[in-house]
Amino acid sequence: MGHLAIRLVPVIKHLLVFAGLIALWELAAATGVIDVILLPEPHKIAASIWELYVENRTIYRHFIITFYEAFAGFLVGGVLGLALAVGSSLNDSFRRYVSPYAILLNVTPGLALTPIVIAWFGFGYSSKIALGAIVCFFPVFVNTLLALTRTDEDTLEMFRSMGASRAQVFWKLRVPAALPMIFAGFKIAITTALVGAVVAEFSQATAGIGVLMQRLSFSLNMSAAIAALLSMSLLGLILFSLIEILDDRVVFWRRTERMDAVGRRRRARWSVTDAATPGEPQGRKNLT
Amino acid sequence: MSDEGDLGAVAAKGRTRGIVARHAGILVALVAAWEISCRMGWLDPLFFPYPSAILLGFWRLYITQGNIWPHLGLTMLEVLVGFLAGSALGIALAVCVGMSDRLRRYLKPYVVVLEATPRIAIGPVIIAAFGFGWTSKTAIVMLVCFFAPFVNTLNGIVGVEPEKQSMFRSMGASKVQTFTKLLWPSALPEISAGLRLAMASALGGALVAEFIASNAGLGVLITQYTGTLNMASAFVCVLTLSALGYFIFRGMEELDRIVVFWSDGDRTDAMSRRRKAAWRAKMGTTS
């Protein structure tokens, strides 16, 4: 019980600070320090959130559409970035001929391509997915390439001296060593993909949170626009935590608890196979 | 001895020239393939303009019509002012926050939420608040440029080893000395990285702001050209942006080398030579 109280104290303090800030904001709006047309009072924003999520339920459709666009854009851009980076890491001349174009794509602000991408792919979802893919390609590409080429020399030497094949070096050494950095790239990429999707929606679209927000703020319904903006933060957080969960699953050796769990599971599997063929240890064949 | 060195240099020069020639060859082949596939009708020139038309577009936009200059100037102004103001604000605020443990603890949740929000998404709200002119674009660039320096500066200051801090304290350093001699230099590499990130997103921020609502700037020019399906001219604008982005990137890298001089061996040596000379001049030429 005392333990719980100790853990609750900082939360309560945070909430008090939050309430204080909100009260200050309300006060500033009431006394006219803040222009309520441009920055509405918190209670109006809360009312708009209620309206968007509970009364009218308009936001869900837009929310899901933008989620889909951002995620699909991330998948397309991420797969392209991964494939090109793996190719570049395996073959030097491939890298030499691909990298100038990758750099060109990086120094071009991808969002500048918005009107062109919309002209190419039309007003529907595909242009938003394409823009998301363009802007999130580079973080994945560069992180994967750097991670795959920067393998620890000593470990590589050891793998070689034990006669590991090229495929074994790649799958057992380079990929696992690169995974944390690849996921760091994914984390950057998924938020950039969201930006790409939203910006494309600002430009030309009929549905999506970007459109909703633009419509609301241009009709000076600022409280609802800020509610939509907060939903976009929520969307960003959801997308980000999806990658984070995946990261935690795949790079299991980063956290001790997950490391232990996976170790227990593998040990259990090991003993099952051992029991099936007693006397001859399984899974060690490729070492002899 | 010198002959050998010369030969080696010549060989190296020949090699790099060969590599450049091969790259150029591939580029020319790609462009030629593009041109041919446009002419043969495999690519729709309405959407993928002829490379030759893009070249002509450069000539037209920069020289005969010269209509790109005011737009380019305006966009660069927005980017520069927004970047300077936004990053200065970010660094200053992070320094204030970083010096106080309590402030940092209470601000952290807000920073996390703001980080998850796509910054550019605030665009429409800011345009509604500041109007359609260049101030709203600068404000958006400022906002886009605020976070990376803020977060990186904070991380840099917080990441200083406690051992070093306690050493400074045990030697009786004042708070100002601890900051200027320990916290600030240790945070500089990260601050510089943050500035690079901010600058990279500044250009995109300005363009998006111009896409949303504006009457001048490169973003407007691109929208107008694409809207009238004058794709060659739109590509000229995009390639101009690529060049701009490249120069910004190189400039920031150069700045990083100058500011964080100790991350590069040669520059460290040069700097210590200079400091030694300055020291000697100050102490008189006794040693």
> Which of A45, A118, A217, A222 would best serve as a mutation to test chain B binding (most B beta carbons within 10 A)?
A217
B101 and B150: one domain? yes
Largest CA distance in chain A: 84
Contact B128 A38 (CB under 8 A): yes
Contact B207 A111 (CB under 8 A): yes
Q: How confident is the model at residue A35 (pLDDT cuts 50, 70, 90)?
A: confident
Q: What distance in Å separates residue A168's CA from the closest CA in chain B?
A: 32
Q: What distance in Å separates residue B285's CA from the closest CA in chain A?
A: 48
Predicted local confidence at residue B39, as pLDDT: 82
B149 and B209: one domain? yes
Could you list the residue range(s) of the whole structural domain that residue B29 is in? 2-43
Count of structural domains, chain B: 2
Contact A116 B124 (CB under 8 A): no
Which chain A residue has its CA at the smallest distance from B103's CA? A17
Two structure tokens written together for B90: 């970010």
Q: At what angle do helices A125-149 and A59-90 cross, to 10 degrees?
A: 40
**Residues A114-142: what's their mean pLDDT?**
89
Predicted local confidence at residue A277, as pLDDT: 56
Higher pLDDT, A126 or B11: A126
Domain assignment present for B54: no
With 90 as the cut, is the pLDDT of residue A83 above it?
A: yes
Contact A229 B122 (CB under 8 A): yes
Q: How confident is the model at residue A193 (pLDDT cuts 50, 70, 90)?
A: very high
The span from the CA of A103 to the CA of B242, in Å, is 10
Contact B226 A116 (CB under 8 A): yes
| Span A40-252 CATH architecture | Orthogonal Bundle (1.10)
Q: What distance in Å separates residue A35's CA from the closest CA in chain B?
A: 10
Residues of chain B in contact with residue A114, where contact means CB-CB under 8 angstroms, are: 207-208, 211
Mean pLDDT is highest, among A95-109, A225-239, A249-263, B155-169, for A225-239
With 80 as the cut, is the pLDDT of residue A178 above it?
A: yes
Pure H helices in B260-285: 265-283
State the average pLDDT for chain A: 85
Q: What share of chain B in percent tops pLDDT 70?
A: 93
Dihedrals phi, psi of B230, to nearest 5 degrees: -90, 75
Contact B219, B208 (CB under 8 A): yes
Predicted local confidence at residue A2, as pLDDT: 61
**Residues A167-191: what's their mean pLDDT?**
89
Predicted local confidence at residue A74, as pLDDT: 96
Q: What is the CATH number of the domain that holds B126?
A: 1.10.3720.10
B95 and B229: one domain? yes
Contact B68, B195 (CB under 8 A): no
Residues of chain A in contact with residue B118, where contact means CB-CB under 8 angstroms, are: 191, 194-195, 198, 232, 236
Residues of chain A in contact with residue B223, where contact means CB-CB under 8 angstroms, are: 115, 203
Name the B residues in 161-200 with CB < 8 Å from any A CB. none
Q: How confident is the model at residue B59 (pLDDT cuts 50, 70, 90)?
A: confident
How many residue pairs bridge chain A and chain B with CB atoms within 8 Å of each other? 125
Instruction: Write down the ipTM of this complex.
Output: 0.72
Q: Delimit the domains of chain A by residue range.
A: 40-252
Predicted local confidence at residue B4, as pLDDT: 47
Contact A199 B227 (CB under 8 A): no
With 80 as the cut, is the pLDDT of residue A287 above it?
A: no
Mean pLDDT is highest, among A214-218, A241-245, A267-271, B249-253, for A241-245
With 90 as the cut, is the pLDDT of residue A129 above it?
A: yes
Two structure tokens written together for B277: 């000379």
**Residues A41-62: what's their mean pLDDT?**
88
**Residues A252-277: what's their mean pLDDT?**
79
B107 and B67: one domain? yes
Predicted local confidence at residue A82, as pLDDT: 93
Domain assignment present for B53: no
**Residues B5-32: what's their mean pLDDT?**
74
Name the B residues in 33-72 with CB < 8 Å from any A CB. 47
Q: At what angle do helices B184-212 and B68-99 cross, to 10 degrees?
A: 140
B136 and B20: one domain? no
Higher pLDDT, B15 or B172: B172
B89 and B144: one domain? yes
Predicted local confidence at residue B2, as pLDDT: 43
B39 and B77: one domain? no
Predicted local confidence at residue A130, as pLDDT: 93
Q: What distance in Å separates residue A111's CA from the closest CA in chain B?
A: 6
Domain assignment present for B138: yes
The span from the CA of B93 to the CA of B76, in Å, is 25
B10 and B145: one domain? no
State the average pLDDT for chain B: 82
Q: How confident is the model at residue B155 (pLDDT cuts 50, 70, 90)?
A: confident
Question: Among A2-6, A277-281, B83-87, B202-206, where is mean pLDDT lowest?
Answer: A277-281
Predicted local confidence at residue B87, as pLDDT: 92
Contact B124 A217 (CB under 8 A): yes
